[in-house]
Amino acid sequence: MQSINEIENLIKLISKLPGLGPKSAKRIVLKLINNRDELIKPMAKVLAEIYKNISRCKICGTLKPSSVECDFNNCKILEKKYDRICVVENISDQWSIESSNIYKGYFHILGGTISSVGQRKEDLLINSLVERVNRDEIEEVILATSATVEGQTTAYYIQDSLKNSNVKITKLAQGLPVGGEIESLDDGTLFSAFKNRSKINPSSK
């Protein structure tokens, strides 16, 4: 293949996306190039808009329009609706839990796990979780991190960070497949994991 810098750069970028290697990245790039007006043009526009207008809330981690405050379901609480927070690693986990309709409450999206490659503890929204729990008088924190070593290490670290907050901390029931990531679970498994969640800090309420 004749090397063209722009194309090479795009292939490199696309191979960084989940589930794609260099081979599929090349196929995608060819598809794009062959559909300049139908794909490249609108995609470039939408990507620029997303980059400019959408960002993660720096407190709770959910996606929101950059120009407005996070909505009252999470951060800007106009009227307190819930007394529990479900802590997940990524936005895709929040989406899975929301679409399964098993949980009503606030969300807190950490933005990864402690030992993810290149992920520093300070980059995860753990301090802001502790602040929210105290400020909003939360009764229960549900740790819904993955059943991976990283997910469980993160859960333990959060439990420790909350040790001075008077809050009940629960963890999704075992029975999550080992290595199971929340986003890949079916609704039935999620349902029983939520329903049978167990309290993990016996000393507090």
Binding region for Zn ion (CB under 5 A)? 57, 59-60, 70, 74-75
In the complex, minimum distance from the CB of residue 65 to Zn ion, in angstroms, rounded to a whole number: 12
Q: What one-character DSSP code corresponds to residue 38? A: I
CA nearest neighbour of 138 among 129, 148, 125: 129
- Is the Cβ of residue 71 or residue 83 nearer to Zn ion in the bound state? 71
CA nearest neighbour of 138 among 56, 70, 80: 80
Distance CA 28, CA 33 (A): 9
Q: SS3 of 138, please?
A: coil
- Is the Cβ of residue 114 or residue 125 nearer to Zn ion in the bound state? 125
In the complex, minimum distance from the CB of residue 59 to Zn ion, in angstroms, rounded to a whole number: 5
- Is the Cβ of residue 74 or residue 170 nearer to Zn ion in the bound state? 74
In the complex, minimum distance from the CB of residue 131 to Zn ion, in angstroms, rounded to a whole number: 12
- Is the Cβ of residue 29 or residue 125 nearer to Zn ion in the bound state? 125
- Is the Cβ of residue 38 or residue 137 nearer to Zn ion in the bound state? 137
What's the token pair of residue 113?
């796990």
- Is the Cβ of residue 75 or residue 185 nearer to Zn ion in the bound state? 75
In the complex, minimum distance from the CB of residue 70 to Zn ion, in angstroms, rounded to a whole number: 3
In the complex, minimum distance from the CB of residue 76 to Zn ion, in angstroms, rounded to a whole number: 7
In the complex, minimum distance from the CB of residue 50 to Zn ion, in angstroms, rounded to a whole number: 18
CA dihedral 152, 158, 163, 168 (to 10 degrees): -80
DSSP secondary structure, 43-109, as one string: HHHHHHHHHHHEEE-TTT--EEETTSPPPTTTTS-SS---SEEEEESSHHHHHHHHHHT---SEEEE
Sign of the Cα torsion 60, 63, 65, 67 reads positive
